C-alpha cells in the first residue's frame, strides 16, 4: 500500500484531533519534561490572540491515521522558530516517519514565515553530564536533518517549582550551512527562548510569587551564560556524534583515550625516526669501514630524513591534526 503522509495545523483545542494528538504526546514524553495538557489547550487558544509570536500544534497523519504530534513557536523579532516537541507513535517509527515529520515541519515554517533565519531544537533535560541514550539517538536523527549542535553548555529553565534548571542540548538549522554563530546573536536567541517562551508560559499559569521567582532564575541563567561566553566572539556549531560537556562525560573520556593513543603513536614514530636517522648517519659515515653498500646506507639515511620531516609536519600542525583525527574517530564510533 502506498504511504501518504500529511501534516495539519490544529488551530484550537476544539479541533477533533487535538485530544488524540495530546494523548499521543503524553504517552511518549518523559514525565519530567511533559507539560500539563490543560495548559497546552489554554495556551493554544490564547497565545496567538495575546502575543505577536505564534504558537503551533502540528499533527502528522499516515494514510489519514494520526501518528505524530509537534509543538513549536515562532519569534518575529528574532526571526527563528523553536521546535519544542516531536512525538511519533512507536508503531510507525520504523518507517522513517520522524524524518518525514521534521521535513514537513521545516516546510510549514518556510511557508508560514519565509523570512525565517533559524530553526532551533531543544533536546532532553537531564541532571547528569551526558544525555540519555534516547536523547543521543534523537540528536543523531536531528543531525541527519542538518541541525547542528551548538557547542555551549545550555540549561533549560525548570518545568515545575520542585525542579532545578536542567542541562539540555541546543541545536540549530539554517537554510545556509553554518559552522558558527555570533555570540550576541546566540544570546539573543537564548533570551527569546527564556523570556518569550518559558516565562510567558509561566506568567499565564503561576502565582505572582512564582512569576517573580521564575523571572529571577531566568535572569541568573542568562547572566551565567554571558559569563561563560565572556571571552568568546563566536559560538561553534559542531558535527560530532557525541556531545561535549565539562566534567567527566563519556564523550570527553573517549576523546581523552583517543588523544592518548595518538600521542603514544606519534611518540613511537618520532623515536623510530630519530633512531633510523642516527643509524643511517652512522652507516653513511662508516660505510667503508662497515662494508655497507652506499646504496643501502643512502636508502636508510633517506628514510630517516623522510620520517623526521613527517614528524616535523605533525609537530608544527599538531593541534589541528590531532583535533581533526580525534573528531573523525569519534564520529566513527
Lowest-pLDDT choice from 39-43, 110-114, 236-240, 311-315: 311-315
Per-residue pLDDT, 266: 64
* Largest interatomic CA distance in the chain: 100
Highest mean pLDDT: which of 10-19, 228-237, 313-322? 10-19
Whether residue 39 has pLDDT greater than 70 = yes
Per-residue pLDDT, 222: 94
Angle at 326 between CA 322 and CA 330, to 5 degrees: 175
Share of the chain above pLDDT 90, in %: 45
Q: What is the average per-residue pLDDT within 99-103?
A: 90
The tens digit of pLDDT for each residue in 179-206 reads 899 999 999 999 999 999 999 999 999 8
Task: Give residues with Cβ within 8 angstroms of 71, minimum separation 6.
Answer: 25, 40, 55, 56, 57, 58, 83, 84, 85
The tens digit of pLDDT for each residue in 275-324 reads 666 666 666 566 556 565 666 666 766 766 676 666 666 555 544 455 55
Query: How does residue 57 score in pLDDT terms, banded at 50, 70 and 90?
Result: very high
Q: What is the DSSP string of 202-247?
A: HHHHS-HHHHHHHHHHHHHHHHHHHHHTTT-SEEEEE--SS---SS
The tens digit of pLDDT for each residue in 62-71 reads 999 999 999 9
Give the cell for residue 177: 550551512
Tell me the CA end-to-end span of the chain in Å, nearest whole number: 37
Domain 5-243: CATH superfamily, name plus number: Gcn5-related N-acetyltransferase (GNAT) (3.40.630.30)
Note the pTM of the prediction, 2 decimals: 0.70
Whether residue 80 has pLDDT greater than 90 = yes
Each domain of the chain, given as residue ranges in start order, spans 5-243, 251-332
Beta pairing, strands 234-238 & 148-150:
antiparallel
Q: Which residue has the higher pLDDT, 259 or 1?
A: 1
Angle at 279 between CA 288 and CA 322, to 5 degrees: 150
Q: What are phi and psi of 329, to 5 degrees?
A: -65, -40
Helix axes 318-332, 294-316, angle to 10 degrees: 80
Query: How does residue 89 score in pLDDT terms, banded at 50, 70 and 90?
Result: very high
Whether residue 13 has pLDDT greater than 60 = yes
Amino acid at each position: 500500500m502506498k504511504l501518504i503522509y500529511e501534516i495539519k495545523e490544529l488551530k484550537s483545542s476544539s479541533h477533533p484531533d487535538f485530544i488524540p494528538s495530546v494523548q499521543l504526546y503524553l504517552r511518549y514524553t518523559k514525565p519530567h519534561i511533559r507539560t500539563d495538557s490543560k495548559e497546552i489547550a489554554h495556551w493554544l487558544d490564547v497565545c496567538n490572540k495575546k502575543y505577536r509570536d505564534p504558537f503551533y500544534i502540528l499533527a502528522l497523519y499516515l494514510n489519514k491515521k494520526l501518528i505524530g504530534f509537534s509543538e513549536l513557536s515562532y519569534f518575529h523579532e528574532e526571526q527563528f522558530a523553536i521546535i519544542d516537541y516531536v512525538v511519533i507513535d512507536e508503531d510507525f517509527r520504523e518507517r522513517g516517519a520522524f524524518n518525514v515529520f521534521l521535513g514537513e515541519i521545516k516546510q510549514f515554517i518556510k511557508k508560514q514565515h519565509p523570512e525565517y533565519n533559524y530553526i532551533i531544537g531543544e533536546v532532553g533535560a537531564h541532571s547528569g553530564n551526558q544525555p540519555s541514550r534516547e536523547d543521543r539517538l534523537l540528536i543523531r536523527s536531528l543531525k541527519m536533518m542538518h541541525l547542528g549542535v551548538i557547542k555551549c553548555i545550555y540549561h533549560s529553565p525548570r518545568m515545575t517549582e520542585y525542579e532545578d534548571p536542567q542541562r539540555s542540548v541546543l541545536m540549530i538549522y539554517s537554510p545556509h550551512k553554518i559552522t558558527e554563530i555570533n555570540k550576541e546573536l546566540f544570546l539573543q536567541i537564548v533570551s527569546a527562548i527564556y523570556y518569550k517562551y518559558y516565562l510567558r508560559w509561566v506568567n499565564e499559569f503561576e502565582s505572582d510569587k512564582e512569576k517573580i521567582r521564575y523571572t529571577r532564575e531566568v535572569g541568573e541563567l542568562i547572566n551565567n551564560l554571558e559569563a561563560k561566553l565572556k571571552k568568546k566572539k563566536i559560538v561553534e556549531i559542531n558535527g560530532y556524534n557525541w556531545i561535549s560537556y565539562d566534567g567527566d562525560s563519556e564523550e570527553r573520556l573517549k576523546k581523552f583515550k583517543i588523544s592518548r593513543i595518538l600521542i603514544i603513536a606519534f611518540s613511537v614514530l618520532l623515536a623510530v625516526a630519530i633512531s633510523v636517522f642516527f643509524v643511517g648517519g652512522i652507516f653513511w659515515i662508516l660505510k667503508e669501514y662497515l662494508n655497507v653498500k652506499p646504496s643501502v646506507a643512502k636508502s636508510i639515511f633517506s628514510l630517516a630524513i623522510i620520517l623526521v620531516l613527517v614528524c616535523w609536519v605533525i609537530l608544527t600542525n599538531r593541534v589541528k591534526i590531532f583535533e581533526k583525527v580525534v573528531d573523525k574517530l569519534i564520529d566513527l564510533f
